[in-house]
Amino acid sequence: MTRVLVADDSETILLLMRTRLELAGYEVETAADGQEVTERLHDGESGPLPDLLLLDAMMPRKSGIDALRELRAAGVETPALIVSAHQDATDADAPSDLEVSGYLTKPIDFDRLLDSIAELTS
Amino acid sequence: MSPSLANRLRIGFAIGFAVLTAMAVIGVGRFIQQRQDFEDAIARSYQVEMTARLRLERAGKPAAARATAVKETARRSELRDQISDDSRDTALLVAAGLIAGLTGALLLFSGLIASMRQPLEELVAAAGRLAAGDRSTRVRVGGLSETATLGAAFNEMATELEQEASQRDQLDRLKDEFVLTTSHELRSPLTSVQGFAELLMLERDSLTPKQAETVEIILDNCRHLVRLLNDLLDLARSDAGRLAITPRPTAVAPLIDDAVRTMRAQTETSNQALSQQIEPGLPLIEVEPDRIRQILVNLLTNAHEYSPPGASIEVTARVVGADVEIAVTDNGPGIPESQLDHVFERFTRGDAGLTQRVGGTGLGLAISKSLVELHGGTIAVESTPGVGSTFSFRLPVARR
């Protein structure tokens, strides 16, 4: 089953994502911030890498952008989607050294999100 | 304390008055004295003549008496010449004194004017700069006390203006910051509300019709809130000068096609005819396509929402001078003349009856205006109540 790691500092958003993605047939893991994401993936204790990262751009302790930068530096090439509260988040907002598969804005258009996930994990 | 103009004038006048008075007194005094001396001398001359003639004639020397008379007559003639010369000299002296006094006064005044001119010119120039918006402008304080006081007052005023402007700028920045942060912070809870409502709708079949309708209302309002947040954000960015565009040469027809396609479902629901008429061979325009699409959708949404079912809406595009003009025309109720001047202001909407039915944010036209102007274009409205409205905007043709 396709595994998606979702990171957001809002428990409600995590619950929403989990419910919605599980309904669509994905296995969902959650993290409260970027720190948790990097720790978990670096340790490698959670088994194999997830198939997709869904990271909030702004989180306390460590942002999704910073977490992704660390992961990329460590050679993790898992596709990643960045969720931003900015209305017009574009590639221009993120550093070009990051391989980001796409940007989503809040409120999330789940149809688009599910399409993107399906495309990236197929 | 610098010397004052009034004091200088007072002193100048006093000195001038004293000099002129002295000249007059001395002149007149001398004139009277000369006249007096002259008359005394004439009288003495007659007396000498009479005495001598009496004495000499009595002594039987008529020749000597005649000689004395001739001598005294000559002397008197000399005295008359003398007084005439003296009077002229005195008059000349007084005239010279007057001229000298007037010249002195003129020099004094021109000196005063010169000492006023430089600071006044500086003040005039500085006032011009201040009026033109340069609030950091100041003048040198100095010279006469009047210009010094004026200069100091001017500087104080400029300082106050500068402080007020910087406070206002700061308030504006705080406001923009507040709107940006608020709009940002509201998005997370809004995501949850909308997301969970959508989850409910996924199980629509297990909801009662009443429940489904309730969830629809929640979703409608979520979408409205999102629009409002996006619009507020655009306006705040525009106010803060942070609404950036990256214009590029763009074809007009696909933009209009796109916007019309976006609106088609809504106009068809209301049975409104949506058509487009694009002049063939339109040049490319220098714009950011997404933003122009946003303007078009704003204008079309207004036309759709304010016009009754069955109305017709037309988008036209044509060349006007060096611009391309795109217009959205409807045959809806039109806008009363009293409101026409305000339609591009924020939160200005049609009359209350319509507003209830219409779901807009009241910001669409304000944003459209900002966006058009950001592209270096202009936007305008024409409307006749009962006939319809036309919103048109002009955008610069792309340079090759």
pLDDT reported for residue B227 = 82
pLDDT reported for residue A92 = 45
Q: Smallest Cα–Cα separation from B6: which of B146, B159, B177?
A: B146
Residue A85: which of B184, B194, B222 has the nearest Cβ? B184
Residue B220 to chain A, least CA–CA distance (Å): 13
pLDDT reported for residue B112 = 82
- Beta-carbon neighbour count of residue B223 at 10 Å? 14
Q: Label residues A71-107 b or e (16+ Cβ within 10 Å = b).
A: bbeeebebbbbbbbbbbbbeeeebeeeeebebbbbbb
Q: Which two tokens stand for residue B291?
A: 């933003």
Answer yes or no: is pLDDT of A54 > 90.
Answer: yes
pLDDT reported for residue B314 = 95
Residue A16: which of B195, B222, B229 has the nearest Cβ? B195
- Judged by CB atoms closer than 8 Å, whether chains meet at B191 and A16 is answered as yes
B311: exposed, middle or buried (Cβ count in 10 Å: 0-12, 13-18, 19+): buried
pTM of the shown model = 0.60
pLDDT in tens, chain B (400 residues): 467 778 888 888 888 888 888 888 888 898 899 899 999 999 998 998 888 888 888 888 888 888 888 888 898 899 899 889 988 988 888 888 888 888 888 888 888 888 888 888 888 898 999 888 888 888 888 777 888 888 889 999 999 999 998 898 888 888 888 887 888 788 888 999 999 999 999 988 999 999 999 999 999 888 888 888 888 888 887 877 777 788 889 999 999 999 999 898 889 888 999 999 999 989 999 999 989 999 999 999 999 988 999 999 999 999 998 899 999 999 989 888 888 888 888 876 655 445 544 556 778 899 899 999 999 999 999 999 989 999 999 999 988 6
- Judged by CB atoms closer than 8 Å, whether chains meet at A20 and B230 is answered as no
Contacts of B226 in chain A (CB under 8 A): 107
pLDDT reported for residue B356 = 47
Answer yes or no: is pLDDT of A90 > 50.
Answer: no
Distance CA B157, CA B166 (A): 14
Contacts of B202 in chain A (CB under 8 A): 23
B25, amino acid identity: V
pLDDT reported for residue B144 = 79
Predicted-complex ipTM score: 0.84
Residue B195: which of A86, A87, A110 has the nearest Cβ? A110
Mutate to test the interface with A, among B179, B188, B204 (most CBs of A within 10 A): B188
Distance CA B26, CA B19 (A): 10
Q: Smallest Cα–Cα separation from B362: which of B234, B231, B238?
A: B231
Contacts of B183 in chain A (CB under 8 A): 87
* Region for A104 from its dihedrals, namely left if φ exceeds 0, alpha if ψ lies in -120 to 50, beta otherwise: beta
Nearest CA in chain A to B232: A87
DSSP A99-120: ---EEEESSP-HHHHHHHHHHH
- Judged by CB atoms closer than 8 Å, whether chains meet at B183 and A107 is answered as no
Q: Smallest Cα–Cα separation from B364: which of B376, B384, B377, B379?
A: B379
Contacts of B206 in chain A (CB under 8 A): none
Residue A108 sits at the chain B interface (C-beta within 8 Å): yes
- Judged by CB atoms closer than 8 Å, whether chains meet at B183 and A10 is answered as no
Distance CA B363, CA B383 (A): 19
**Beta-carbon contacts of residue B71 (< 8 Å; ≥ 6 apart):** none
Nearest CA in chain B to A11: B192
pLDDT in tens, A2-33: 999 999 988 999 999 999 999 999 999 999 99
Residue A75 to chain B, least CA–CA distance (Å): 31
Contacts of A85 in chain B (CB under 8 A): 184-185, 187-188
Task: For residue B59, give the 3-state DSSP assignment.
Answer: coil
Judging by DSSP bridges, how do beta strands B388-396 and B323-330 pair with one another?
Answer: antiparallel
Q: Which two tokens stand for residue B35?
A: 């006249």
- Judged by CB atoms closer than 8 Å, whether chains meet at B229 and A87 is answered as yes
pLDDT reported for residue A91 = 41
Answer yes or no: is pLDDT of A94 > 60.
Answer: no
Contacts of A12 in chain B (CB under 8 A): 188-189, 192
- Judged by CB atoms closer than 8 Å, whether chains meet at A108 and B195 is answered as yes
Residue A90 sits at the chain B interface (C-beta within 8 Å): no
pLDDT reported for residue A89 = 46
Distance CA A40, CA A50 (A): 11
Task: For residue A98, give the 3-state DSSP assignment.
Answer: coil
Residue A11 sits at the chain B interface (C-beta within 8 Å): no
Residue A107 sits at the chain B interface (C-beta within 8 Å): yes
Mutate to test the interface with B, among A10, A14, A16 (most CBs of B within 10 A): A16
Residue B226: which of A86, A107, A110 has the nearest Cβ? A107
**Beta-carbon contacts of residue B194 (< 8 Å; ≥ 6 apart):** A107, B219, B222, B223, B226
Nearest CA in chain B to A15: B192
Residue A20 sits at the chain B interface (C-beta within 8 Å): yes
With contact defined as beta carbons under 8 Å apart, do B379 and B369 qualify? yes
Q: In chain B, where do the E strands start and end?
A: 248-250, 273-278, 285-287, 312-320, 323-330, 378-384, 388-396
Residue A20: which of B199, B222, B233 has the nearest Cβ? B199
Residue A107: which of B185, B199, B222 has the nearest Cβ? B222
